[in-house]
Structure 1
Amino acid sequence: MNILIVGCGKVGSQLANVLSKMGHDVSIVDPDEERFSNLSDEFAGYTVTGVPIDQDVLRKAGIEGCEALAAVSNDDNMNVMVCQIASEIFHVPKVLARIYDPARGDVFSHFGLHTVCPTNLSVDALYSMLTDRDRIKNVYLDTTTVAFDAAPATEEEIGRRVCDLEKTDDEKEILFGLLHSNGGLELAYTASLTVIKPDDRLLYAKIVD
């Protein structure tokens, strides 16, 4: 897919790295050129410096040919404005805005904007982990439901690196991260060289139809 990302902070850069590694054509826009240093050396996409709500900047980043856009800057208003421009002017099929204020989610949904709120995700995940250690249950990303399962590392997996693990038989399920006994979470992408310990748990994510 041709995907445009707005915001090259921690989330935007990591998303861009993952998508690029998976073979997608990725462009990323940020007003601060120095933020592109957050991208990995393996990032094979295109970077554009400029104000994301400037249509010329978006055109330079290839918005006219992109199939999806994710606005994940630190500014809620910026993210929403970019998504509105992408949807209403450039008719991008899929747009997603990250917002920090949970109360805004319902408001924006009335305008047909898909949003994801890190605050809600964190609360849902923490609640599930506290009340049911081995089942992380569901997280709701606008109209999509993602189910998480945490499984103790098996004898065969202990001592191996995360990147050496075989994929599951379920094509819709992916290894999302590694949960440590101290409650810490390492995302699978960044923990690829981490050696799995006996008390670690593997966190899997699956989109529920």
Structure 2
Amino acid sequence: MTENSTAAPRRIVGLGGTFRQASSSERIVRAVLAECAAMGAETVMFDGPALAALPHFNPEQAERTAEELALVEAVRMADGIVIGSPGYHGGYSGLVKNAIDLLEDLRGDARVYFDGRPVGLVVTAAGWQACGTTLSALRDVVHAMRGWPTPVGVGVNSVEQRPFAPDGSLIDEAVARAVRAQAEQIMGFRVEARA
């Protein structure tokens, strides 16, 4: 990160979740988006049901569904991204993978993939090892897509932590601090001006 940009991000896109309604990873992505919104961002969320509506990515298919076009256009216009996933066997979910694969449609853009944008990462898993390996896998993807993973990645060990109250509000202060820190890093991100 450098200090040579003129404006903070204003459009932040969240994606992630599972087939499970209101999954933990999805709720934490929403919490990061809410913190960004409190700092002035416009946010949009592509949750588990939205990702489940995407057909399997086919690079040979010229026609895209309305759902595919909406996701690609939202990321194209985004100033920052938040990706959340459960940890599945040391990797991230198929729903998230399919959505990321679809972003291959950004390859011909002047600002390809995640180029020059901060990407916050959120992982929930049944153990710290799964949190770490999944977070690392997502960081590798973000780097490959020319994005800047935020220094703070939010990992929640669902065996040891219960971050939510019955009403869905975030009650674990350590997780809440990480969520705030990630949002601040997304909103404070600066990219060096290009010549």
Q: Work out whether the TM-score is over 0.5.
A: no
Larger Rg: 1
Give the TM-score taking structure 1 as reference length: 0.40
Structure with the higher fraction of residues in helix conformation = 2
